[in-house]
């Protein structure tokens, strides 16, 4: 279940985008305390998230000594969600002009997925 979606310009740094997204999420979901992130989000802003938003940021990283494929904890959740979104034709390319339209299309795709699962439980 995706809590919040944010589409930004391509030239926005990941950490800046993460700050904007966490501000949105923290305002809506007050019980949220733990956020898993990729190794690219390391830095001093993790302390900012802890002090300002009371969020614990846990970085999920590969072990540099391991060669080849290694399943990382919680990372598969993100990859699986991207795979689900990739099946939606409208999200396969950047058809939308406004970022808000792209965000709406992601929400619609995820709503469609949830409704199908509710209608046809396995």
Give the model confidence (pLDDT) of 52-107 as tens digits. Answer: 999 999 988 887 888 888 777 787 888 888 888 888 888 877 788 888 898 999 99
Measured in degrees and rounded to the nearest 5, phi and psi for residue 110 equal -75, -35
Shortest CA distance to 70 belongs to which of 83, 57, 60?
Answer: 60
In this prediction, residue 33 has a pLDDT band, given cuts at 50, 70 and 90, of: very high
User: What are phi and psi for residue 24, nearest 5 degrees?
Assistant: -65, -45
What local confidence, expressed as pLDDT, does residue 109 receive? 92
Rounded to whole angstroms, how far apart are CA atoms 47 and 38? 16
Question: Using CA atoms, how far apart are residues 79 and 1, in angstroms rounded to an integer?
Answer: 13
Whole-model pTM: value is: 0.77
Whether 1 has a pLDDT exceeding 80, the answer reads no
What pLDDT score does 87 carry? 87
């Amino acid at each position: 279940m995706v809590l919040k979606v944010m589409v930004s310009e391509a030239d926005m740094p990941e950490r800046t985008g993460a700050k904007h997204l966490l501000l949105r999420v923290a305002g809506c979901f007050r019980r949220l305390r733990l956020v898993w992130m990729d190794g690219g989000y390391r830095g001093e802003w993790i302390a900012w998230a802890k002090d300002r938003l009371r969020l614990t940021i846990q970085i999920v990283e590969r072990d540099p000594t391991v060669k080849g494929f290694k399943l990382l904890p919680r990372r598969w959740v993100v990859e699986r969600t991207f795979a689900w979104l990739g099946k939606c034709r409208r999200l396969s390319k950047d058809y939308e002009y406004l970022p808000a339209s792209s965000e709406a299309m992601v929400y619609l795709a995820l709503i469609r997925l949830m409704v199908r699962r509710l209608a046809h439980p396995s």
